[in-house]
Amino acid sequence: MSAETAGPETLGSLSDEPQQDPNSQQAKEISGKSPLRIALGRLARDKIAVVCAVVVLFFVICAMFAGTISDLFGVSLETPLASERVDGLNNGLPKPEMGPPVGPFTWEHPMGVAPRTGEDNLAYWLHGCRVSLLIAFTATLIASVVGVVIGLLAGFLGGAVDKVLSFFIDMFLTIPFLLAALTLAPILNERFNTSPDYPTIQKFSLVMVLAMFGWMGTARLIRGEVLALREREFVQAARVMGMPTSRILFKELLPNLAAPIIISVSLMLPAFVALEAGLAYLGIGVTDGVSWGQTILKAATPTYFREYPQYLWQPLLGIVALVLSLNLLGDAVRDALDPKTRR
């Protein structure tokens, strides 16, 4: 008598997982967990992921409670009269009583004050963190929702809809982001600069610009996944049973797309944080001064870098730590969600 060629035994031995007794304690525990819980468990065992999560949490807390923390330290965003805090005859560096680099550390201004203007660095750092995360989170949210919806529709409906949507995806991919941002800034300025809400409008338009040029990657990824998924038996079955398309899309397909969505979001976030700072540095993002990129622009002169390096390091470290930990966390999340990776 011949055995079946592809019986369960053969499949089992092909896997590189160590053989387990299906009745063992360990196996029972696994079988009782959802895929997401398994992923979370893996994440919790990943030391880098935990450290990164703590760092991200720190920045999120700084951003959410920027005002409160500033009040605790007794600092604010208010512009002081420059001559009260900096010495115009000493390259505009802070006066000795304002703390480093000229004087000793003081709790009045724990991170010192900015040269030339005398604005408090801590307050600007905290609020810069808030602006950075607010813009990055909102842009990521919008970009991923748009990307997911378009990817789902294009992949599942196929045909003409797919062609049209793919065309738009390709078209947006061809527009050079920086050039578009450079062109849009003066147009938006001219349209809205007399409005009292100009700073808010500016941030909103920045979110829009980031989102507008950020959704295509997600859309392509999702479309590809959906193309593969829609031929699977459970989707076919759902169709045969006459489920409405929306139900198939959101109840059947979407849960299976959780991994690619989380991955694309986790990579988009740090990219947007860096882009926000980059645009502010170029003077086409946030221009009201409350942004890490703007602080870097002011600090990046040879003289200040030599005599007051902390002024540049503060926002720089903020950006580097945030972007790096978001990226590593994203990697860890991907590893945890992907059953194919083993470490």
Partner 1 sequence: MKRNKPLALVAGAALLTLAACGGGSSDEGETGEGTQREFGDQEGGTKDAERQGPAAEVEGATEGGTITVYLAGDPGPDSLDPTGGWSVTGNSIQQALTHRSLTQYIRDEETGDPILVPDLATDLGTYNEDFTEWTFTIREDATWEDGKPVTPEEVAFGICRSLDSEAFPSGPGTKYSKDYFAGAADYEGPYTGKDPKCENWDGVTVNGQDITISMEKPFPEMDYWGAFMAMGPAPLGNASKPPNYGTKPLSNGPYKVESYKPNEELVLVKNDQWAPESDPGRHQYADEFVFKFNQDQAKVDEIMLSDNADSQTAVSASLGSDKYNDANAQLGDRLVQQTSQCVSTLTPDYTKITEIEVRKALAYAYPYEDVWIAGGEVPGVTRIPANSVMPPGMAGKKDFQVDGEQITYDPEKAKELLAEAGYGDEPYEITMVYYEVDPLAKATQDQITKGFEASGFKVNAIPVQESPYNVWLDPDSKINKKLNLRGVNWCSDWPSASTMIPPLLGGDEVYNTAFFKEAAVDEEIDRIVTEVPVDEQPAAWGDLDEMIMTDYFPIIPTAFRNDLFVFGSKIGNPTGDGALGAPNYKDLYVMQ
Residues that bind partner 1 (CB under 8 A): 79-84, 86-92, 116-117, 185-186, 189-190, 193-194, 196, 198, 283-284, 287-289, 294, 297-298, 301-304
Nearer residue to partner 1 within complex by CB, 95 or 146: 95
Residue with token string 């972007």: 323
Residues 6 or more apart whose Cβ sits within 8 Å of residue 320? none
Confirm if 336 and 39 have CB atoms less than 8 A apart.
Answer: yes
Q: How far is the CB of 173 from partner 1 (least distance, A)?
A: 28
Question: DSSP letter string over 52-117?
Answer: HHHHHHHHHHHHHTHHHHHHHHT--SPPPPHHHHEETTTTTEEPGGG-TTTS---TTSTT-B-TTT
Nearer residue to partner 1 within complex by CB, 84 or 97: 84
Nearer residue to partner 1 within complex by CB, 20 or 193: 193
Q: How far is the CB of 100 from partner 1 (least distance, A)?
A: 18
Q: At what angle do helices 198-212 and 177-192 cross, to 10 degrees?
A: 150
Residue with token string 């040029």: 213
Q: How far is the CB of 92 from partner 1 (least distance, A)?
A: 6
Nearer residue to partner 1 within complex by CB, 87 or 162: 87
Nearer residue to partner 1 within complex by CB, 141 or 316: 316
Q: How far is the CB of 194 from partner 1 (least distance, A)?
A: 6
87 — phi, psi (to 5°)? Answer: -105, 105
Residues 6 or more apart whose Cβ sits within 8 Å of residue 100? 94, 112, 308, 310
Q: How far is the CB of 43 from partner 1 (least distance, A)?
A: 41
Reduced to 3 states (helix: H, G, I; strand: E, B; else coil), residue 340 is: coil
Q: Which residues pair with 87 in a beta bridge?
A: 93
Q: How far is the CB of 310 from partner 1 (least distance, A)?
A: 16
Nearer residue to partner 1 within complex by CB, 11 or 81: 81
